[in-house]
Structure 1
Amino acid sequence: MPSILDREAIVAPRQFNRWLIPAAALAIHLCIGQVYAFSVFKIPMMGHFDTGEVAVGWIFSVAIAMLGLAAAFGGTWVERSGPRKSMVVAGTFWVAGFLVASLGIATGQLWLVYLGYGVVGGIGLGIGYISPVSTLMKWFPDRPGLATGLAFMGFGGGALIASPLSNSLMAFFGGGTDPANLEAGLLQTFLTLAAVYAVVISLGAIVIRVPHPDWTPAGWDPSTAAAKPLQTTANVSADSAIRTPQFWLLWIVLFCNVTAGIGILENAAPMIQDYFDWITPAAAAGFVGLLSLANMAGRFVWSATSDSWGRKNNYMMYLGVGLALYLVIALMGGANVVVFILATMVILSFYGGGFSTIPAYLKDLFGVFQVGAIHGRLLTAWSAAGIAGPLIVNSVIEAQADSGLTGASLYSLSLYIMVGLLAIGFLANLLVRPVHPKHHVPEGRDREKEYVQ
């Protein structure tokens, strides 16, 4: 008898409501999306461990690096094991990461926070991020961009919930909103978040299902669906996909798009204050919230439109228009605060849209066969960007400050570097062509038995 976690135990009846699947995926993405709100712990942790911003900031970088590595190495296992087992394993690692980090906070050992939130939690991030991808594609063969957009919107929106929730919890347990009070509430906050995330992820795992082999969306006939450029009816395995130029072109595309987004995210609050010296810290915090909303909205809106516009065309927009907007900020961003805010919000919407569009882009090129595993391997570009982006931006700003520059001048060079990266990504996307048939899995091969359901 199969375990209740196995793929064979979660095959849905033909009449199952497929719209429950994005909700289940949203549950885990809202939880692991907390990583984007980690900055709310920076000052309390700096005080608690009596250390600097760089030492605490590396916790986030380690988590993002582990996300990419876990997604890359665990992708094939996720495909084979199914979404429920993957979500349970991801949730276990994510919650365990908070518990280990809590031990580090309680004992004053920063290395345990690196190990817990960074390494253990990062593994949960990677497995959890890709766990619903393949399943969503199978439930929404007619609208894969819409489905992944709904789910990945949660990853961008997780910070919108986690940031105020974490601050409120630290203030509640610490007895006030002063830095010393927030620091005092760190331990209980981490333990509470662990409990909340365990419950929410468990609920998502209970709901998740894989479609019945004979199920198709009502009224949808794949044989009559209009073919779009780059879309294939064939399939490519994960091992073969990484041998294709298309995979590495998309790796470059994702790396450039993510690094450019981080170019804004990494220093959003101080950046707007340096461009406009009348902006208060509270207003700068509101600006960061607007960027989070743009990130979240872009994950849904742009991914959904890619179903009609085409994935390659969407990326031409992300990279080409993003390049132009970076130039606008570099050349005249300090002249008008409205132009600055709108330009950065659109860039962040492209950043989010790039994440949620890439699974459907992979499905178009490589088929649905092992798209989750291929997606996992591609996310190593995110890991690289998560390290390279902050390193580039912070190093340039520090060098400019050492040269005596101030205000908007601190950012000009890093903005032009991002323009160059987006140009490289634009060219890489332009070169994407259909995958050569030599990489396709033979039609006679029993794919369902050997790899996935």
Structure 2
Amino acid sequence: MSMPIAPPGWSRWLVPPAALSVHLSIGQAYAWSVFKPPLESALDLTGTQSALPFQLGIVMLGLSAAFGGRWVERNGPRRAMTVALVCFSSGFLISALGAATGQYWLIVLGYGFVGGIGLGIGYISPVSTLIKWFPDRPGMATGIAIMGFGGGALIASPWSTQMLDSFGRDGHGIALAFLVHGLVYAVFMSLGVLLIRVPRAPLAADPLPAAPAAESVRTDTGPQVSANSAIRTPQFWCLWVVLCMNVTAGIGILEKAAPMITDFFSGTSAPVSVSAAAGFVALLSAANMAGRIGWSSTSDLIGRKNVYRVYLGVGALMYLLIAWFGDTSKPLFVICALVILSFYGGGFATVPAYLKDLFGTYEVGAIHGRLLTAWSLAGVLGPLIVNRVADAQKEAGKSGATLYGLSFTIMIGLLVVGFVANELIRPVHPRHHHIPSPRKAADDERSVRTEQHPA
């Protein structure tokens, strides 16, 4: 499967829809909390146990992105999207078998391990391609695609709830829901595989266009740092901490969203129903999605460091408001959670552009993949903190909002750590910059000409 190079006249605006078809599918991961209560009931699991497939999926997302980033850069987005399609859909099919037979380890293996590989490869596959197509607006471009990952649960949450209502919330019903997910997402993701294209590399004789054109987009301006050099810089690790802290704070709410809002208002005069909790998950998904395009586009105007100051500083304030007043006002709880999730999504969408500003486009896909190991750790930390604290408080006889007070305090501290790390980020020293050799540039040019005009 050769790398699909765009022909002359190809519109770069066809690339975001290709990325969206993949990201909207793998974004189903954010609707996992819909499956938690029925799985806990059907298989007699605790909240911590039912979080395992999601946690492992996020761990594998980061690891597969880290180890597969350079492979994606070399083989192109089409091959990567195909691998993502096979792994993600297969993960659901394996999980369906596990639910049908009552073997929870198969759900962990399928959804968490196999599906998690699909998450990681699918997540990074279009990102560097989009940055190359939109060097003038990298925040907006990556925001459009990564918006789909955040918005996937907006579709998957009510869809999954409806299937569980129709099929049943026992093992058989959960298995059928997993089966339908796997088949439908395979078809939808194939649209992106067929549509994706990479820009024609600028040749020596090509004039630099006034605005990026479909057939020739120049992406080699500014500092250019290789992936191996990038991980030796303090900027990479400061940004790693920033991403890890921001993700931990957001994913802690997202993974347990449905049971959390139910617990918060269980002892009040206005308890939250199962359907309303699913609606809350969908609202969080909408905020996650809107934050990805909204905040990442804003970063093109105010700068990456400033927008991360908002994510981390205001995010800590939102957690503080929930911890103090969340159980007294349902609108306050919902609004604060929506703001936190908009920052969570915005952080993901902004980070590729932040990397592009710091390290250039030379190996930004591989650098992005390695940075996503921060997501792997956060995917364990966030749910672990919230679920373990809630389980411990429940064992101590507590209920309602008191199940989450300590975990929210921990999240505030993590956001402060991320804020400090963001302040420490400075431009990369020139000694780390990579300058391609004339021979390599000539080889690249010859390779592109051969692919476009084969003998």
Whole-Å Cα distance in 2 between the matches of residues 396 and 448 of structure 1? 58
2:240 is equivalent to residue 244 of structure 1: no
Match of 1:62 in 2: 56
Return closer, same or farther for 1:438/1:104 CA change in 2, 3 Å cut-off: same
Q: Secondary structure at the match of 1:62?
A: helix
Of 244-253 and 186-195, more deviation after overlay is shown by 186-195
CA contact (8 A) 1:262 1:390 kept: yes
Return closer, same or farther for 1:264/1:166 CA change in 2, 3 Å cut-off: closer
Match of 2:35 in 1: 41
Of 193-202 and 135-144, more deviation after overlay is shown by 193-202
Letter in 2 for 1:12: A
Letter in 1 for 2:249: A
Return closer, same or farther for 1:448/1:121 CA change in 2, 3 Å cut-off: farther
Match of 2:271 in 1: 279
User: Could you give the per-residue CA deviations for residues 413-436 of structure 1, whole angstroms, max 9, x where no partner exists?
Assistant: 222211111111001000100111
Match of 2:353 in 1: 360
User: 1:204 aligned to 192, 203, 214, which one?
Assistant: 192
Whole-Å Cα distance in 2 between the matches of residues 127 and 448 of structure 1? 30
How far residue 273 of structure 1 moved from its aligned partner, in angstroms, is 4.3
Whole-Å Cα distance in 2 between the matches of residues 448 and 92 of structure 1? 36
Whole-Å Cα distance in 1 between the matches of residues 107 and 327 of structure 2? 39
Letter in 2 for 1:211: P
Whole-Å Cα distance in 2 between the matches of residues 267 and 404 of structure 1? 20
Match of 2:118 in 1: 124
How far residue 158 of structure 1 moved from its aligned partner, in angstroms, is 1.0
Match of 1:220 in 2: 211
Letter in 2 for 1:6: S
User: 2:327 aligned to 334, 338, 341, which one?
Assistant: 334
CA contact (8 A) 2:359 2:428 kept: yes
Match of 1:140 in 2: 134
Letter in 1 for 2:374: A
Q: Secondary structure at the match of 1:179?
A: coil
How many percent of aligned residue pairs carry the same amino acid?
58
Q: Secondary structure at the match of 2:327?
A: helix
Return closer, same or farther for 1:442/1:113 CA change in 2, 3 Å cut-off: same
Letter in 1 for 2:354: Y
Match of 1:6 in 2: 2
Query: Normalized against structure 1, the TM-score is what?
Result: 0.88
CA contact (8 A) 2:161 2:278 kept: no
User: Could you give the per-residue CA deviations for residues 360-399 of structure 1, whole angstroms, max 9, x where no partner exists?
Assistant: 1111101011111111111111110111111112222333
Query: Normalized against structure 2, the TM-score is what?
Result: 0.88
CA contact (8 A) 1:330 1:415 kept: yes
Match of 2:217 in 1: none
User: Could you give the per-residue CA deviations for residues 65-95 of structure 1, whole angstroms, max 9, x where no partner exists?
Assistant: 1111100111100000000111011111112
Residue-pair matches, total: 433
Return closer, same or farther for 1:294/1:269 CA change in 2, 3 Å cut-off: same
Whole-Å Cα distance in 2 between the matches of residues 251 and 34 of structure 1? 25
CA contact (8 A) 2:51 2:255 kept: no
Of 137-146 and 11-20, more deviation after overlay is shown by 11-20
Return closer, same or farther for 1:186/1:412 CA change in 2, 3 Å cut-off: closer
Across the aligned residues of Structure 1 and Structure 2, the Cα RMSD in angstroms comes to: 2.6
CA contact (8 A) 2:59 2:377 kept: yes
Letter in 2 for 1:213: A
Match of 2:169 in 1: 179
Match of 1:156 in 2: 150
How far residue 198 of structure 1 moved from its aligned partner, in angstroms, is 1.6
| Structure 1 segments unaligned to the other structure (5+ residues) | 223-230
Whole-Å Cα distance in 2 between the matches of residues 447 and 32 of structure 1? 36
Letter in 2 for 1:179: R
Match of 1:265 in 2: 254
Letter in 2 for 1:202: S
Q: Secondary structure at the match of 2:224?
A: coil
Whole-Å Cα distance in 2 between the matches of residues 410 and 46 of structure 1? 18
Match of 1:435 in 2: 428
CA contact (8 A) 2:98 2:175 kept: no
Whole-Å Cα distance in 1 between the matches of residues 192 and 366 of structure 2? 21
CA contact (8 A) 1:140 1:217 kept: no
Return closer, same or farther for 1:399/1:54 CA change in 2, 3 Å cut-off: closer
Whole-Å Cα distance in 1 between the matches of residues 8 and 27 of structure 2? 32
How far residue 402 of structure 1 moved from its aligned partner, in angstroms, is 4.3
2:315 is equivalent to residue 315 of structure 1: no
Letter in 2 for 1:279: P
User: 1:188 aligned to 169, 176, 190, which one?
Assistant: 176
| Structure 2 segments unaligned to the other structure (5+ residues) | 214-219, 449-455
Return closer, same or farther for 1:330/1:217 CA change in 2, 3 Å cut-off: farther
CA contact (8 A) 1:170 1:185 kept: yes
2:376 is equivalent to residue 383 of structure 1: yes
Whole-Å Cα distance in 2 between the matches of residues 400 and 169 of structure 1? 33
